[in-house]
Amino acid sequence: MEGEAVSGAQLIAQALKAQNIEYMFGIVGIPVTEIAIAAQAVGIKYVGMRNEQAACYAASAVGYLTGRPGVCLVVSGPGFLHTLGGMANATINCWPLIVIGGSSDRNQETMGAFQEFPQVEAGRLYSKLSVRPSSLEVIPAVIEKAVRTSMYGRPGSCYIDIPGDFVNLQVNKSSVKYMECCLPPPISMAEHSAVSKAASVIVLSKQPLLIIGKGAAYSHAENNIRKLVDLCGLPFLPTPMAKGVVPDNHPNCVAAARSTALQHADVIILLGARLNWILHFGLPPRYQQDVKVIHIDICAEELGNNVRPAATLLGDINAVTEQLLEEFKKRSWKYPSNSEWWRKLRGKIKNNEERSKA
């Protein structure tokens, strides 16, 4: 081969590195061993696991914690199939994740190759993107697209299928379409009228409640949310995955009066949380029949699920929180701390804490 050659394994490793991927979890074997070696060679931290199932859950946790996907590297057939639980979990939980699966050599397809399986197709139901590069030349482009897709919009998992014969195949570097690191995820905000509408509903509320969801944690909205809580004096409740966005020991946290808070709120500001089973679908008897929901989410299709909102704010949780913060600064509104609602919530908190101690 004329010019400098590069192997499939090296292209994969370099492309992941170019996309700032730091961690790879996996189990090596035919045909992916060389990929793990190449990944280590370019400085990716490779963690060998004992079952692909655990490897995939570990990689997805990296994605949630860092906002950049971890990679799970697995062999063909059962190795790949063991990641489907983790892929589904990442996509449903909205965590970025990349799974790279080795598959059969292309020239043995349809003949009964070792662990032959339609892996791209199998990954479809569990991922945002399931794809096989059509040649070595496009590996960097496909990896860029997968990493980008896993992080942009509502995050989730992407599957990249690598035919076994790609791993050691070589290609001239000059023919490869190399890609720079994708840009950080684009941020969007709610339109002004929606922000204004939301604020108008909130200032008229008698028993408001701010629910902080996982999306708030993922978008690193902690500073703005705390400012909003402090500025407006709102009672708040974290969902299980949003624990710590504002600490539970903040005086406005009503986690210890969760049922009461949900059941009697007249206005709920839903910040990056879904009205699913965790929040009892937003429906009576766990909520007021006519509760007004201010629904804030990064995913348009989530808005209005189960309950018709009083206002819908589509955008990045942190960006929209900042919009609300600006709006309330202008309005200089604060929910009174001596309200009947706060008395009720504080009473319930005290009761529950005493009951806990006893």
What part of residues 117-156 is at the interface with a second copy (CB under 8 A)?
Answer: 117-118, 120-122, 124-126, 128, 131, 133-135, 138, 141-142, 145, 148-149, 152-153
Nearest residue to 18 (alpha-carbon basis) of 42, 41, 36:
42
Out of 110, 174, 332, 338, the residue judged to bind a second copy by CB under 8 A? 110
CB 312, min distance to a second copy, A: 4
**Segment interacting with a second copy, rule: CB under 8 A, options 7-15, 33-41, 296-304, 341-349:** 296-304
Give yes or no for residue 251 binding a second copy (CB under 8 A): no
Query: What is the number of other CB atoms lying within 10 angstroms of the CB of residue 34?
Result: 19
> 148-184 burial, b for 16+ CB within 10 Å, e for fewer?
bbbbbeebbbbbbbbbbebbebebeeeebeebeebee
Work out whether strand 5-7 and strand 170-172 pair parallel, antiparallel, or are unpaired: antiparallel
Site string for a second copy, 68-87 (x = CB under 8 A): ---------xx--xx-xx--
Residue (98 or 257) nearer to a second copy, CB: 98
Give yes or no for residue 289 binding a second copy (CB under 8 A): no
- In the structure encoding, which two tokens stand for residue 109, read together? 């397809």
∠ CA 162-186-223, nearest 5°, is 120
Q: Which residue has the tokens 């002004």?
A: 192
Give yes or no for residue 186 binding a second copy (CB under 8 A): yes
As a whole number of angstroms, the distance between CA 122 and CA 109 comes to 16
Give yes or no for residue 274 binding a second copy (CB under 8 A): yes
- List 253's β-bridge partners, or say none: 236
CB 227, min distance to a second copy, A: 18
Give yes or no for residue 194 binding a second copy (CB under 8 A): yes
As a whole number of angstroms, the distance between CA 264 and CA 185 comes to 37
CB 252, min distance to a second copy, A: 27
CB 161, min distance to a second copy, A: 12
Give yes or no for residue 88 binding a second copy (CB under 8 A): yes
Is residue 350 a contact partner of residue 249, using CB atoms and an 8 Å limit?
Answer: no
CB 153, min distance to a second copy, A: 3
Residue (301 or 354) nearer to a second copy, CB: 301
Out of 185, 258, 325, 333, the residue judged to bind a second copy by CB under 8 A? 185
As a whole number of angstroms, the distance between CA 216 and CA 37 comes to 37
CA distances from 253 to 66, 169, 250, 297, 345 (A): 26, 58, 6, 21, 10
Q: Within 319-358, which residues bind a second copy (CB under 8 A)?
A: 319
- In the structure encoding, which two tokens stand for residue 161, read together? 């299928």
CB 275, min distance to a second copy, A: 7
Site string for a second copy, 298-317 (x = CB under 8 A): -xxx-xxxx-xx--xxxxx-
Out of 188, 200, 259, 351, the residue judged to bind a second copy by CB under 8 A? 188
Give yes or no for residue 164 binding a second copy (CB under 8 A): no
Q: DSSP state, 331?
A: H
Q: Within 10-69, which residues bind a second copy (CB under 8 A)?
A: 51, 53
